[in-house]
Each structure stands twice: as structure tokens, then as C-alpha cells.
Structure 1
Amino acid sequence: MSMINVTNLTFAHDGSYDYIFENVSFQIDTDWKLGFTGRNGRGKTTFMNLLLGKYEYDGNISASVSFEYFPFHVEHPEYLTTDVVEEIYPDYKQWELMRELTLLQVSDDVLYRPFNTLSNGEQTKILLAALFLKENSFLLIDEPTNHLDMNARKLVSQYLNSKSGFILVSHDRTFLDDCVDHILSINKTNIEIQKGNFSDWWENKERQDNYELAENDKLRKDIKRLSDAAKRTNNWSHEVEKTKNGTRNSGSKVDKGYVGHKAAKMMKRSKSMEQRQQSAIDDKSKLLKNIESSDSLKISQLAYHKPQLVELEHVTIYYGEKEACSDISFTIEQGERIALSGKNGSGKSSLIKLICGEDLTYTGTFRKGSQLKISYVSQDTSHLQGNLTDYARDHGIDESLFKAILRKLDFSRIQFEKDISAFSGGQKKKVLIAKSLCEKAHLHIWDEPLNFIDVISRMQIEELLLEHSPTILFVEHDRAFCENIATKIVEL
């Protein structure tokens, strides 16, 4: 066991006036299985790059271990997989690699195929196996689940749970719960570490948030009551003071000493109330700083004139001679939230393309409602560029609503001035989802919409879909999201 000590860490990117970290201090035990969570753009990948020594910073990071980052950059993807592993770790022992691949249920024949011919899931597992061959290293694992289907995620989480000594960035709640024992969270105003998995951390956060909201409400009422009482007492003291120079109704002279004493007493009471009021204001200012924005979002889906939107009967889709999927039968009814489930390569994306109107070769019966309007969110974000104003205009959506949704998904005002191509992967996905929510459609089709999107935004999108119940067909490997959202699962 050794410690990674972070002391007074301060960092901002060149040309930026906003600190990502400011005087941050904490300790990490190198035996921990540490889940790393926080909103998109809060600095998770930046912090890992600081550990790797890629940026200059103020403060101090001390550690007696070296750091290794996942995913590795593969210089020659056309090489045989065994050669790719050797480039990453020249001194590896064959039997150790085979041990790791067995744990990850990868057959050894993949080592003798070109790396770029492997599936995304196989590539991820190979690189993870190579990562855990390295000794005396603290491992920085950045979003390994993005190319893994649900079964592969479960397998990899079991694999990671058998290891220790890593930071894991993932936005999949179930995945984190299955393989971490501490959570490192980047909040709005601080960084904190808690023992336990993601669900433990989230339960503690909700408890703290609810306490602070109740305390905030109580202090707000106290401040108003004390303010009103102080004003009344202050007014009374001034009125009593005025009577010093007046006379009583009987015509006798006023006891100025008594009146002055009474006025001073009231003034003192008023000052005491003002001090208590200021103390309450100070206490109030310490609250709510880390409560995440979770305003509800609005969606208005078009109603279709028939209950059934899409029907497939014994549909098989072909690419040339090869079957993409076979003998698929299901319907999409208004109000249903359907999860398309299955291993990578089982034909989910092909089915989506068919429903969206692509000219694919198929057999069987496929019916789609006439003039059915579909809003589609693709996996790919590489085409996104330009500013958000032009993007909204080019796609015929309401700019103010589009930006309001992005604000609620934690976009800062400064993001609105940037080119979309400079956004993080999660921010680009949010652009596509916000566009889809602004479009007038009968059916929403989302293909792996949550890749790179932070946990809190995922929960927010869940709440939206549950509240407004749009008709939606989606592919998503986040198990918690599917369990919470889907009214029907179509297994391929």
C-alpha cells in the first residue's frame, strides 16, 4: 500500500480564466478500486492527464507508483494482435497474457488476427489485458464501456472487481457498482472521496442535498422573520425617541430618561436581530453549492393517427450474401419505449436503418405508417461542427428551446460561444439529444445515445422519458437505464 498525495492542485488550460481545479487537496490509496464520476467537462480526463505529467500545474502531486492510461494508442492497428500487445508491453510473459484473456473470455486465436479486424469489444478486452500485465503501476481507465454490449460490460466489471489499484471513469451506474470500492467525485465546488460504490455515494449525496434544501428553506424563513421583526423594532425605537420632546396627553412633561432607556433597549434588540439575521444569511451561503441542476425538461411529441407505427414480421436483413439479422418480428405502438437488445453485431443498427428509411435488402414483411416523422440520434458525432445558433437554424429547430435544454444538461454559457467540434464526446451527444427533443416527431429512435454522457444527465433524461412517455425505440447498453425506461425489450 502507498499513497498518491494531491496538495493545493490548481490548474486552468492555456488562455482560460476559469480554473478546472483550484487549491484541491486529497489522498488516494493505490490499493483502491476507485470510481471517478462528475458532470461532463468537469475535468476527469484532465486530472488523469495531470497524473501522467502532460500539463504544467501549480501545487503538488506525489506518488511512489507510475501511471498507465487506458485506452492505449495503437500505432499499427494493421499488425497482428500479439504484436500490438508487444508494442504496448515488450516484456510481457505469454502465460500471463493468456491468463488475463481467459478471465476476459477471449479465445487465444484473436492474437494471430490483425488487430483492426477484431470487434470493438475484443479490442477493448485485449487492451485491458495488456494494461493489467503492468506491475507497480496505478491504472487510469477512461470509459472502457463505450464499445461493450451489456453482457461484455458484466464480464469486464467482474474482471475489474478481481483487480485493485485503478481509477475508473465510467458513467454506467451498474458497471461502477459491480467493480469499485471508493468513489472520487468532482462536484461543482470541490472534490471528495467516499468509501463504497456508486449507489452508496449517490444515496449519501441525495441525503446531503435533501438536508441542505430543508435547511435552506428553514433559514430563508428565519431571515424573513428576523428581517421583519428588526424593521418593526427599529421603527418602534424611533417612534419612542420622538416622544422625548413631546408631552403626555395629561399635559405633564415626558420622563426623557425613561423614554431614552426604552428606545435604547429597543435599538439594542433590533441590532441583535440584525446580527442573528446576518448569521443566518452566512449559514445559508454555505448550502446548495454542490446541488446539481436537475430542472425538468420539456418534450412534445406529435400524436399519430393510428395506434401502431411500425410492424415487422419475420424480417431478415442482408448485406450482400451476409445476414445482418434474421427472422425478426415485433411492433411499435404509440407510447411504447422499446429497448433493442443483443450482442454487438446482432443487427440492431441494421434494424434501425431499415425503420429510418434506408434502402436495405430484406425479406419478410415490413410496414411503416404513412407520413411517419422520425427523430434519429446516431452513434456518430464526428460530423458535428459550427456554432450552436447555426446548427439550430440549419436543422429547423427552436434555438431558444435547444439552448435551454443544453443549459439544463449542464452546458455553461461559454460553451455556446465555442465551435461544436471542440466539445467533449459527452457534450456532442447532448447536442444530438437536445436536437431530437426539439424536433416534432411521432417516433424517436436513439442508437446508443448515452455514450460519454455523465451519470446525472442520464438520470435527467430518464426522468424526462418517464414523465412525457414519448414513443421511442432505443439501443443502449446501460443496464440501469434500460431497466428504468423500457416498457418492452426486443432481444436479437
Structure 2
Amino acid sequence: MALLSLDEISLAFGVHPLLDKASLIIERGERVCLLGRNGEGKSTLLKVISGDVTPDGGQVQLEDGARLAVLPQNLPSDDTRTAYEVVAEAFPEAARLLAEFHELSQHTDEASLNKLMKVQERLEAVDGWRLDQKVSGILAQYRVDPDQRLNTLSGGWQRRVLLAKALVAEPDVLMLDEPTNHLDVPAIAWLEEALGQFRGAILFVSHDRAFVRRMATRVVELDRGQLISFAASYDKYLELKEKALEEEERQNALFDKRLKQEEAWIRQGIKARRTRNMGRVRALKAMREERRMRRERGGTASFAVEDAARSGRLVVEAVDAGFAYPNGKTIIDEMNLTIMRGDKIGLVGENGTGKTTLVKLLLGDLEATEGKIRLGTNREVAYFDQLRGELDLSATALDNLAQGREYIEINGQQKHVLGYLQEFLFSPARARSPVSVFSGGERARLMLAKLFSKPANILVLDEPTNDLDVETLELLESQLVNFGGTVIVISHDREFLDNVVTDTLVLDGSGRVQEFVGGYSDWRDQGGMFPSEKPADAEPAKTDKPKAVQKPVEVAKPKAAKLSYKFRLELEKLPARIEELEGEVAAVQETVSGPDFYSQPADEVARVLARLSACEQELEEAIARWMELEELAGQ
């Protein structure tokens, strides 16, 4: 018997069913990744399996005696319980008895002592002391303070507590809904290791491509109410899915062509009607019904970033900058950093190392407590909040975006708000629904819609990949790569960082901010490690006030035998830039050579000559840089 089986599950909330007689079998030891577009019903399917949602039809069957545990997608909003209490909830009776035991142990009266003995007997009967050790042990393994209250923890640490609760009961089936959300990269690596040793079955929803590649032994896609299984790796699934879609389009085209021919036949003249084949008429009616019932695959998101006027060439410069809280805790120490217009910066570090604080310093929302931070000019910042705090859950998507407007201006063009939301895959009916009923992915898309509706030349994205489906992720990546402004992104998605950023800033928790050229993988290739990954007996670093950032060229100097990604990109762009500068110099020289040039007002003559001098100097610098990189590439 299968460990978990779904037999023709049906569930409908609207016009089209979320689940349309969907079936699935999962065996022990399988790690099944459930994929699908945002809003297809993946989280709802997990709720059907867990029993939180009752299907309209079909049956969910779990092997006799098997236990199931769930890691939910959403974090608790205001949970005042301690981490210990949350994890111990996996053993409800033992948790209640332990709490009662600790409460009674504070009293010395005879009644309390008698009751304490009864509670202790019951605890021993349900093996409560061993369960207490398991809860304490897994919290220690996760490095979580058992007395820390959940509402005082960051999103990443809350996720650790909920993971501990899911795993502590040693379930046979473990269901994880976006388990990497809010986790830092070392925690994801640990999670991959822990799940790899799990002996039961795992069903998980994730759009973290690196995590799916590492974990999935099978991919199941939820598409238009059906569960389609691909017994393949993630990369092989992508190939098979593309072929399946091409075949579906071909079959639909053939069907539509035949239907069109039959519709033409039925509309022939009176004479034809007298000799009509009634079997053919019935077949046409069946074809009409089949075409009516066909569920088309949803469209692909199509959006663009609205560019503001260009910022100054310098975006931000930090010289020996630091930040410490009034209690004396240093978050950033002696940081030296320069960010120029067009840079794509990724921030990497374990939770609590100060990534958000660093972003606030770079944006000018916080002032450095030591050193100096100089902000560039003409900065227009758009901020993407990982907690979706800018969304009013009681309002509709339309109201969240429009705020009373019927049209918004995107890159100089007027767009109707409903039309703009359709580019983010919100139908008019969905756009008028309250945000409180949206899935995590839909909320993320709405945040992107708000973000990209504002003119910006600096985009700051805090965990933008959480809950986004793969197609939207890939579109977001291409938009950020082509964006002419500056991008600062905090992300745990390793593949996203590799595809977008040109520089990586690594925070190790000691206050240091180290700069490396390239993305996450480039940093790892250069020997980069998180503090938690280093051996415990490793020689400690000197504590003589380490420099937060070595000069970029010193820290990430490319090896002579191979240009780094950033330098290769610079070398590829230089010839076109040199040609452009040569054209500008020639044009200004032609103006200066004109017979009437010096008869103009003196300030105009000085302006043009200054422009010529600046162009010639920039051209010389570009040629020198090109020669330097060519020499490095040839070594």
C-alpha cells in the first residue's frame, strides 16, 4: 500500500475547479516537489491532504499508523508563545502536562504536591520526559533560545522554530510549503542535509530552483486542476514540460481546425440539410462541448520597470563607516564601499548579521555612527518589503494599487489600472478581490505591481523571490538585468543571485562587510564560507578591529589566468563605449572648428571646450582600461 494516496480529489471555489478529479500516489522515501503557477491551488492541496480543507469529492488515504506533519507557508502574525511552547505543541498532551508540572513545582502546599505527583505519573506514562528532551534537543540543534518569544524573532528564526515543530515528532509524511522562505543560505543548506536523511516521504512546494534541484526525486505539477507526475529531475522536467506544452498546442490547433470545418458544414444550404448525417451532427455537438470545457493555460506575466531620470554616477560611497546601537552593539564596522549607477548588488549573510541595517545605511534612512557615508544625487528609490507590509489586506488589489486613480502612468504611457494588473496575471474579478484571500505568490505579484508602478532609478528588493512561481521569477530576473538603474537585493535564492548581481556583499556578523565580484557561486568559488560552516577548531581571526571592506580590487582581484564575470562584462562593453566617445569627440571638434565658433558668447565657448576636454579625457581612460583588460585576458 502507498504511504499517501489521493484518489480523484475534486474541489471548486469559483468557475473552474482548483482540483478536478486529481490523483496522486507517494511512496516512502520519495521527495516529491509540487510545482504550479501562483494561484493554481498548491497550498490548498496540502490543506486537503492535512485535513484542514474538506474536498468536494474523492478520498485522501494515509497508511495505517502513519503520522503527518506540516510546515505552513505563512508565519504567525503575533504569537506570544515561547519557542519551546511552539515546538512542544507537536506533542499536545505532553506539552500541557509539562507546563502544568513546571507551574505546580513553584508551590509547596500539600494540595499542589499531591497534584504534582499525579501529573508526574501521567508524564511518565506518555513518555513526557523523553519528549521534553527531544524538544530541547532540536531547539539546541537549530540554535534557538527556547525562552525566546515567537513575536520577537525575525522571519528567518520564526521559520526555524516552525521547522523544528514539524520535524520533532518524526513524521512519516512531511509536507513543506515554501520551506526556504525567510531562511538564510546556511539554514537552507542545513535543511537540505536534514531532509536528505529523512526516511519518510516528503511533499514540498518550492520555487527555489537550487533547492528543488538538490531535493526532488520526482516533480508533480498542478496544472488546471490536474496533477501531472514527472519521474525525473527538475532539469529533465523542464525539458519534458516544454515538449508536452508544444504537443498540447499542436493537438488543440488540429482540433480547432476540424471544429471549424464541421461548423462550416453545418451551415450549408437547405439542400444539404435534407441529407444531413445525424451522427455527424451529434459528433459536432460533442466537439462543441469539448471545446467549451477546455481550460486554457493561463497567460504569462508581462511587466516592465518604470525608469526614473538617471541618478548621479555615484549612488553611495562609504568611507570607514560604521553603525552601532546605543547599547554598544556594533552592526557595521569600518566599511569602505562605492556603489555606482548601474551596479547590481547582492547582500548575503546569515540572519541577524545586519543586512537590513546595511540597506538602511545605504539608503540614508540611518546615519552612520562613525566614518562617513556620502549619498549620490537624484536618487529615486523603490523598496520591495519581504513581509508585504505595504499591502492593505482588507482592501482589494485594485484599491491597493490605484488608490483612487483610474489610470496610472508607466514609462510615459497612460494605462488603465485593471489593464496594468492583468500584466501581472490578475483578472478583473481577481483584482476586485480582497488581498486577504490571496495566496503568497499573488501577494508577491501585487507587491511587484506596486513597486514597478513608481518611477525609480534605485530598486531595493528584500527577499523578492519568496512565493513567486518560476516563470515570474525568470521574467523578474530579465527585467532587473536590463534595468538601467541600480539594484540592491537581499536574497537567499542562490540561482537568482547568480543570474542578477554583479557584486556580492557578504556580512559575517562581526561587523565586516566584504565585497566580492560576481554572484553567490562566484563568492563560493573564491573560498567564501559562512561563519557557521567553519570548523569549530579553526584558528580564530585577529580581533584588532578588522577592516570591514578591503578595497574591491584587493579583495576580489581576478586571477591572471581568468577574468572575473564583472571584468569580462566590462571588457565586452568597452569597444562600443570607445566608439561612442570617439563619435562625441569628433562631433565637438567639428563644432569647435567652425568659423563662427569663437564669435559666440564667452560662457558658451567655455562650456563647449570643457565638454571637449571631458570627452577626450574619458576616451583616454576608456582606451587605457580596455588595454589593461585585454592584457589580463591574454595572460
TM-score range, shorter chain: 0.7 to 0.9
The answer to whether residue 478 in structure 2 is matched with residue 463 in structure 1 is yes
Paired residues of 1:324 and 1:345 also in contact (CA < 8 A): no
Which residue of structure 1 aligns with residue 237 of structure 2? 201
Work out the CA distance in 1 between the residues paired with 2:242 and 2:498. 21
What does 1:428-467 correspond to in 2, within 5 Å?
A: 428-467=443-482
Q: Which moved more, 1:379-388 or 1:118-127?
A: 118-127
Work out the CA distance in 2 between the residues paired with 1:84 and 1:392. 36
What does 1:42-441 correspond to in 2, within 5 Å?
A: 42-59=40-57, 60-64=59-63, 65-71=66-72, 77-79=80-82, 81-89=83-91, 90=94, 91=128, 93=131, 106-107=142-143, 110=144, 112-116=146-150, 120-135=155-170, 137-163=172-198, 164-212=200-248, 293-294=299-300, 296-304=302-310, 306-320=312-326, 321-385=328-392, 386-394=395-403, 397-398=408-409, 400=415, 403-441=418-456
Q: Which residue identity lines up with residue 19 of structure 1 in the other structure?
A: P
Paired residues of 1:384 and 1:421 also in contact (CA < 8 A): no
Task: Work out the number of aligned pairs and report it.
Answer: 447
**Structure 1 residue 22: deviation in Å?**
1.9
Q: Relative to 1, partners in 2 of residues 1:439 and 1:86: Cα closer, same or farther, differing over 3 Å? A: closer
Q: Relative to 1, partners in 2 of residues 1:296 and 1:467: Cα closer, same or farther, differing over 3 Å? A: farther
Q: Which moved more, 1:213-222 or 1:190-199?
A: 213-222
Work out the CA distance in 1 between the residues paired with 2:331 and 2:417. 36
Work out the CA distance in 2 between the residues paired with 1:290 and 1:27. 26
Work out the CA distance in 1 between the residues paired with 2:384 and 2:155. 20
Q: Which moved more, 1:130-139 or 1:157-166?
A: 130-139
Deviations 1:388-422, CA, capped at 9 Å, x for gaps: 34333439844846544543333233211112233
TM-score by length of 1: 0.77
Q: Secondary structure at the match of 2:369?
A: strand
- Coordinate RMSD, CA, aligned: 4.0
Q: Relative to 1, partners in 2 of residues 1:403 and 1:150: Cα closer, same or farther, differing over 3 Å? A: farther
**Structure 1 residue 123: deviation in Å?**
4.5
Q: Which residue identity lines up with residue 223 of structure 2 in the other structure?
A: N
Work out the CA distance in 2 between the residues paired with 1:487 and 1:402. 34
Work out the CA distance in 1 between the residues paired with 2:387 and 2:167. 30
Q: Which moved more, 1:397-406 or 1:156-165?
A: 397-406
The answer to whether residue 504 in structure 2 is matched with residue 489 in structure 1 is yes
Of 459, 474, 477, 2:489 maps to: 474
Q: Relative to 1, partners in 2 of residues 1:94 and 1:411: Cα closer, same or farther, differing over 3 Å? A: same
Of 37, 40, 51, 1:39 maps to: 37
| Identical columns (%) | 25
Work out the CA distance in 2 between the residues paired with 1:30 and 1:406. 42
Q: Which residue identity lines up with residue 52 of structure 2 in the other structure?
A: K
Paired residues of 2:10 and 2:21 also in contact (CA < 8 A): yes
**Structure 1 residue 132: deviation in Å?**
2.9
Q: Which moved more, 1:204-213 or 1:146-155?
A: 204-213
**Structure 1 residue 173: deviation in Å?**
0.9
Work out the CA distance in 2 between the residues paired with 1:6 and 1:404. 38
Work out the CA distance in 2 between the residues paired with 1:124 and 1:97. 16
Q: Secondary structure at the match of 1:40?
A: coil
**Structure 1 residue 28: deviation in Å?**
2.2
**Structure 1 residue 365: deviation in Å?**
2.0
Work out the CA distance in 1 between the residues paired with 2:182 and 2:212. 16
**Structure 1 residue 428: deviation in Å?**
1.9
Work out the CA distance in 2 between the residues paired with 1:195 and 1:419. 38
Q: Relative to 1, partners in 2 of residues 1:394 and 1:76: Cα closer, same or farther, differing over 3 Å? A: closer
Q: Which residue identity lines up with residue 156 of structure 1 in the other structure?
A: L
Q: Which residue identity lines up with residue 161 of structure 1 in the other structure?
A: G
Paired residues of 1:209 and 1:291 also in contact (CA < 8 A): no
Paired residues of 1:337 and 1:472 also in contact (CA < 8 A): yes
Q: Secondary structure at the match of 1:311?
A: strand
Paired residues of 1:11 and 1:57 also in contact (CA < 8 A): yes
Paired residues of 2:302 and 2:424 also in contact (CA < 8 A): no
Q: Which residue identity lines up with residue 433 of structure 1 in the other structure?
A: L
**Structure 1 residue 96: deviation in Å?**
5.7
Q: Which residue identity lines up with residue 42 of structure 2 in the other structure?
A: K
Paired residues of 1:316 and 1:325 also in contact (CA < 8 A): yes
**Structure 1 residue 350: deviation in Å?**
1.1
Q: Provide structure 2 residue ranges, at least 5 long, that are not aligned to the other structure.
A: 95-127, 508-635
Q: Which has the higher contact order (CA 8 A, sep 6+)?
A: 1
Deviations 1:144-197, CA, capped at 9 Å, x for gaps: 211211221122112112213121122211111111211221113522122233
Deviations 1:44-83, CA, capped at 9 Å, x for gaps: 121111112223323222222342222497997544x445
The answer to whether residue 44 in structure 2 is matched with residue 10 in structure 1 is no
Work out the CA distance in 1 between the residues paired with 2:465 and 2:370. 32
Paired residues of 1:39 and 1:410 also in contact (CA < 8 A): no
Work out the CA distance in 2 between the residues paired with 1:405 and 1:471. 24
Paired residues of 2:35 and 2:42 also in contact (CA < 8 A): yes
Q: Secondary structure at the match of 1:445?
A: strand
Paired residues of 2:457 and 2:484 also in contact (CA < 8 A): no
Paired residues of 1:402 and 1:435 also in contact (CA < 8 A): no
Q: Which moved more, 1:82-91 or 1:178-187?
A: 82-91
Q: Which moved more, 1:293-302 or 1:213-222?
A: 213-222
Q: Secondary structure at the match of 1:132?
A: helix
Paired residues of 2:142 and 2:164 also in contact (CA < 8 A): no
